[in-house]
Amino acid sequence: MAEEKRRLIIIDSNSVIHRAFHALPPLSTQKGEVVNAVYGFLLVFLRSIKELKPDCIVATFDLPAPTFRHKKFKKYKAKRPPAPQELYDQIPKVKEVLKAFNVPIFEKEGFEADDLIGTISQQFSRKQIIPESEVIIISGDLDVLQLVDKKTKAFILRKGVKDTVLYDEKLVREKYQGLNPNQLDDFKGLRGDPSDNIPGVRGIGEKTAIQLIKQFGGLESIYSALSQKADISPALRLKLEQQKEQAFLSKELVQIRRDAPININLEECEWKDYNKERVIEILESFDFYSLIPRLPSAGQGLENNYLEVVKKEKKKSKKEEKFKENLRLW
């Protein structure tokens, strides 16, 4: 008898919102509220439900307060320009929609969404006694690839909100020239991560970092080999020795935590009946009439009310029609 399969979707919400905001042309409601990021987020959300068919869904968010990484390294993400206020204003709107869908929201001061994703993924795997259970992380950020394993995949928005890649362990190894997902923190410990202002070991590029890890293993093994007089060129040895503390700090900064102080309740995360009337009400308030026919059934007894949909479709705003033409996704 085949084992039942349980699938959890974890949404890296801030990442998806940022990707949608910058990828899609401006869209505003009749009241003048900018909602292009909400629209793009919903496109990804509804597509994920349709294609991935989850049993459970959760959403994670970053909070504006500094995290433990900022406390360890004051220059962490220091070079990132602040996002436009129009983007930040859309985050509560996304949360409003998720709550209407009965999707639990996780956020924790002092931790990033990635840490919550890592923690939830691990807790789900531990609590599931079904061998075929799996986690799929939806994100626009490649940082989550270090979480990929036999039971975890990453659904990455590569370009815009339509071009996506579902990474498993094999695809991660192909992308990083043979490195395993659990070696990516070692890789960035050496290479650094300019987008987050993480220094790594200055003078070591991607190619050298990959060669060192493939030859010796992780960062700890590389420095152990140094102490044992391994065959490493004098120039490279000097860089590694002089920047040892910086290398390990960089690895610590990029490493996704799996022990954030949160707890997942599987029953509350189940994808089940939601407040469809409330969702439709919210979509109408944003002038998202074309999304109403896409609303999924969840659980037993939920069916699309097509007469209602047809009625609402007749009220589509001209702004949305123009927006759809600009997107060229329809």
What per-residue confidence (pLDDT) applies to 277?
A: 92
Both 77 and 224 in one domain: the answer is: no
Helices (H), 228-263: 234-242, 244-254
- Residue 200 belongs to a domain with what CATH number? 1.10.150.20
What does the alpha-carbon distance between residue 282 and residue 266 come to, in Å, rounded to a whole number?
27
What is the rounded average pLDDT of the residues 260-275? 90
- Interhelix angle 91-100/36-52, rounded to 10 degrees, is 40
Give 162: exposed, middle or buried? Use CB within 10 Å, 0-12, 13-18, 19+. middle
Closest CA to 256 of 129, 68, 106, 109: 68
Q: Residue 201: give the domain boundaries.
A: 181-254
Cα–Cα distance, 257 to 260 (Å, whole number): 7
pLDDT at 308: 44
Whether residue 147 is found in the same domain as residue 214: no
Element (H, E) at 135: strand 134-139
Task: Note whether 114 and 191 are same-domain residues.
Answer: no
Domain end call among 254, 288, 306: 254
- Helix, strand, coil % over all residues of the chain, rounded to 5: 50, 10, 40
Which one-letter amino acid corresponds to residue 70? H
Helix ranges (H only) for the chain are 13-23, 36-52, 68-72, 85-88, 91-100, 113-127, 169-175, 184-191, 206-216, 219-227, 234-242, 244-254, 266-269, 276-285, 306-313, 318-327
Q: Model confidence at 227, in pLDDT bands (50, 70, 90)? A: confident
- 108 and 230 fall within a common domain: no
Residue 130 has pLDDT above 90, yes or no: no
Lowest mean pLDDT among 130-144, 232-246, 302-316: 302-316
39 and 59 together in one domain: yes
207 and 169 in a common domain:
no
Could you report the per-residue pLDDT of 158-209, keeping only the tens digit for each? 887 788 999 999 999 999 999 999 999 999 999 999 999 999 999 999 999 9
51-106 pLDDT per residue, tens: 999 999 999 999 998 999 999 999 998 888 888 999 999 999 999 999 999 999 99
Please state, in angstroms and rounded to a whole number, the distance separating the CA atoms of residues 211 and 201.
Answer: 14
Q: For the chain, give the mean pLDDT.
A: 88
User: Which of residues 223, 254, 285 is at a domain's end?
Assistant: 254
pLDDT tens figures, 12-27: 999 999 999 999 998 9
State the CATH number of the domain containing residue 76.
3.40.50.1010
Is the pLDDT assigned to residue 219 strictly greater than 70? yes
What pLDDT digit, counting tens, does each position of 102-125 carry?
999 999 999 999 999 999 999 998
- Alpha-carbon gap, residue 130 to 280, rounded angstroms: 35
Query: Burial of 204 by CB count in 10 Å (0-12 exposed, 13-18 middle, 19+ buried)?
Result: buried
Domain C-terminal end among 203, 226, 254: 254
